[in-house]
Amino acid sequence: MPNSQEASAQRRPLQGDKVKSKGMKSLLLLVAWEIWGEQNMRVFKGEVLTIPQLVSKIIDEINLWSICGATNIVRLSA
């Protein structure tokens, strides 16, 4: 039976996976939101972003989320 330090060391990778999972869920939500918003702009306003413009907008939004405290997204890129 492992002692408490060994058990703690065994849990660390799982905790890291949990952080990455939260970060991936947040990232997926952000990307889906931006794509949905782009679709609405095309349909209702006739405005179109190119793919590089949309990617740039998503990256800007990731940076904004990280400034606002979305630490799990930041940890994905580290």
| CB neighbours of residue 23 within 10 Å | 19
Q: What is the CA radius of gyration of the chain?
A: 18
- Residue 3 has a pLDDT of 67
Number of domains the chain is built from: 1
Exposed e or buried b for every residue in 40-54, given b needs 16+ CB within 10 A?
eeeeeeeeeeeeeeb
- Residue 6 has a pLDDT of 62
pLDDT tens profile 23-71: 888 899 999 999 999 999 999 999 999 999 999 999 999 999 888 888 7
- Residue 22 has a pLDDT of 84
Residue 28 vs residue 5, higher pLDDT: 28
Q: Identify the domain containing residue 31 by its residue range.
A: 4-77
**Interhelix angle 51-67/4-40, nearest 10 degrees:** 130
- Give the pLDDT band of residue 16 (cuts 50, 70, 90): low
Q: CA 59, 61, 66, 70 torsion: positive or negative?
A: negative
Residue 13 vs residue 37, higher pLDDT: 37
